[in-house]
Amino acid sequence: MVPRVTLQTIADRVGVSRMTVSNAFSRPDQLSPELRQRILSAADDLGYVGPDPAARALARGRTGAVGVLLTDSLRDAFSDEVATTFLAAIADELEPSGLALTLLSSGRGDIVPARDVPMDGAFVYSCDTNSPGVEWLRRRKLPVVFVDHAPVDGAPSINIDDRSGARAAAEHIVQLGHRRVGILTACFNGPHGLVADPVSATGGHVATQRMLGWLDALEPVGIRPAVVQLPNGEEHFGFDGARSLLDGDERPTALLCCSDAIAAGAVRAADSLGLQVPGDVSIVGFDDSLLAVRIRPALTTVRQDVEAKGRIATSVLITQIENVRAGIVTTP
Amino acid sequence: MVPRVTLQTIADRVGVSRMTVSNAFSRPDQLSPELRQRILSAADDLGYVGPDPAARALARGRTGAVGVLLTDSLRDAFSDEVATTFLAAIADELEPSGLALTLLSSGRGDIVPARDVPMDGAFVYSCDTNSPGVEWLRRRKLPVVFVDHAPVDGAPSINIDDRSGARAAAEHIVQLGHRRVGILTACFNGPHGLVADPVSATGGHVATQRMLGWLDALEPVGIRPAVVQLPNGEEHFGFDGARSLLDGDERPTALLCCSDAIAAGAVRAADSLGLQVPGDVSIVGFDDSLLAVRIRPALTTVRQDVEAKGRIATSVLITQIENVRAGIVTTP
DNA sequence: GGATGTTACTATAGCGGTATAGAAACCGGG
DNA sequence: CCCGGTTTCTATACCGCTATAGTAACATCC
């Protein structure tokens, strides 16, 4: 094993100080072009690859990567169209800054990426409010931006008005004359299936807000919706949940779904039972993803601009990181 | 600005050496449980978060993250179902090892994540063969696993037999009696639109192999396919490309597509022209993604197990990383 | 009772860079 | 010729942690 080539190796070879070699790579204006050339070509001869990123990260105090903390397993995030759209927007917006994006799973047991991965800041996207990952990010005092997450004290958070959106959707349903309404929502770790008290569900700020919004519209007119909680937002859960509601005695004439994916499952379920949408049953989604466009019959959905959320979150995070670097501490 | 709390701060406070504090966090078996407790609670008092990941990365020589180099902009990767499936498989398989996944864009100009991001190894997924990113990863002598990429000297690469798969698909089409065949393929930076010499396309090992496979079956029986090269594999390009072929004089009776997404676009295009699939035109995809299942009429497609590719690639990469750590250098 | 371990902790020497404050040489102006 | 100002390079001091060897104290064993 040959000893590794470092700045010092090159410095010795060329006969200059290590600092000068460092400058040749990182601050070209600090030395004469000729010397820089000599250093660079010596480096090339020695097979030097450039300053070691890990060492540089320590010395500079920044790593060049930001994290994104996602719910549970990363797999879920990749199979969810809304999440991938969000991630794509982040990635795009991050690119010019040169920051890389590191995916952080919530972690289990001793594995806590949010604690152990070097990064300059992080997004928290639609996570369980009391996920240990969130806690660690806070403790590390990293700049954090919350998205689709319950606001946390001093940290910026990006949310749409989920509650109002949901209320508007439910009001619309009420105005159309529906009285028997079913609700399909996803909930990380609450009870699954038909539930009595819909607001008790734990985890999922967004789902909770949407639920509150629906109830805001339904309760005043005396509608008691049948609520089914699904383990997560995958389409097949939407299918199962919708079947269970549509197959019962008091079949709802409208289904409010907390995502388009769930709504898509519900449409399939209606179809499988020979029910017309929206003739026999109205189905309302949430997100306005591409999915909503693809589904036949076309879905009624609450529109939100996920791309914009990603872009905004990114610029906020970048600003935060720059402020920290400049010594402007926003959150004491 | 309070001076940062480090191991030394705690050591001074408790009256032990810094090394002992380090052990309290990283190697609990190296000290007595009582002392460890004292140290831990002192650390807590001081608001210590745990060993700094960047410093640890430098000292230990590993960062706890692996990269994945993707074609061009990350956005494309997120909107491609095959890519996200692959990434999900990687992420899943990576989780127990505690390694985080960092997304690396190809970079432009001075921004080269593959050069500057700290990582222990990397995947190269379906990249342009002469992408600068690939070159940098090699220079850094990082363990690299290539997936859907032309094999590179000593590095492991994971591929399915794209050529044979494509040949089989084309043979099937020939056996069905088709003689006018159109090909829709994606190509990073070749000429776009109808091309004369289909094998000249630059970039995209996979696309090239599939093309070769198709030609393997078509040329022997004297079929000269009409080939359209698309800028990338997005569905709408498939739509446009297929329209241009199906709208012409010598309308093909079969379309070979290098991905399911393109095939999906082609199906829509046929539909928009009032053509029956497969009555008027047969359409063959590649990948067997979920997309293939969703499309009506159902797509004929070449099946590949993207999940398995992800899992295998990951275990190979992890093995490589461990070997390097153990001093077993596979590629000199 | 001396060879041989084990346990619990410490001292030293890096890991591979960068920031910062100089020092030396050069340059034009009064 | 001396002064302030640049340009170019160097010396020193970290960044915060870990590996490794070593020391001292206490057991163990024949």
Q: What are the pLDDT digits (tens) for A233-284?
A: 888 899 999 999 888 788 899 999 988 889 989 988 888 888 887 888 989 9
Nearest to A87 by CA among B88, B196, B170, B115: B88
Judge whether B167 and B217 are in contact, CB under 8 Å. Answer: yes
CA–CA distance, B203 with B219 (Å, rounded to integer): 23
**Residue A109 in contact with partner chain B when CB distance is under 8 A:** no
A213: Cβ contacts below 8 Å, ≥ 6 apart: A162, A163, A164, A165, A166, A167, A168, A169, A170
The length of chain B, given as a count of residues: 332
- Chain B contacts of A105, Cβ < 8 Å? 91, 95, 100
Provide, rounded to the nearest whole percent, the portion of chain B with pLDDT above 90: 56
Protein A49 CA to nucleic acid C13 C1', in Å? 25
Parallel, antiparallel, or unpaired for β B193-195 and B226-230? antiparallel
SS (H, E, C) A102-131: EEECCCCCCCCHHHHCCCCCEEEECCCCCC
Is-cis flag, bond preceding B220, omega within 30? no
Which residues are A253's β-sheet partners? Answer: none
Any idea what DSSP says for residue A4?
A: P
Q: What is the mean pLDDT of residues B49-75?
A: 93
| pLDDT greater than 60 at residue A146 | yes
Protein A4 CA to nucleic acid C4 C1', in Å? 39
Helix H or strand E encompassing A183? strand A181-186
Provide, rounded to the nearest whole percent, the portion of chain B with pLDDT above 70: 93
CA–CA distance, A306 with A197 (Å, rounded to integer): 30
pLDDT band for position B278 (50/70/90)? confident
CA–CA distance, B96 with B90 (Å, rounded to integer): 11
Token pair 């990380």 is found at A188
Token pair 């660690």 is found at A136
CA-CA-CA-CA torsion sign (B29, B35, B37, B42): negative
CA–CA distance, B299 with B290 (Å, rounded to integer): 11
Instruction: Strand D proximity: list residues 80-119 of B with CB under 7 Å.
Output: none
Instruction: Say whether the CB atom of A290 is under 7 angstroms from strand D.
Output: no
Enumerate long-range contacts of A203-207, CB under 8 Å, 24 or more apart. Answer: A203/A128, A203/A129, A203/A130, A204/A126, A204/A128, A205/A126, A205/A129, A205/A148, A205/A149, A205/A150, A205/A159, A206/A126, A206/A148, A206/A149, A206/A159, A206/A162, A206/A258, A207/A258
Instruction: Say whether the CB atom of B199 is under 7 angstroms from strand D.
Output: no
- pLDDT number for residue A313: 97
| Among A166-170, A230-234, B118-122, B215-219, the least confident range | A230-234
| Both structure tokens of B50 | 């745990």
The answer to whether B65 contacts A118, with C-beta atoms less than 8 Å apart, is yes
**Residue A326 in contact with partner chain B when CB distance is under 8 A:** no
- Chain A contacts of B111, Cβ < 8 Å? 95-96, 98
Q: What are the pLDDT digits (tens) for B240-252?
A: 999 999 887 888 9
| pLDDT greater than 80 at residue B58 | yes
Is the model more confident about A290 or about A281? A281
Q: Which residue is nearest to nucleotide C16 (CA to C1')?
A: A55
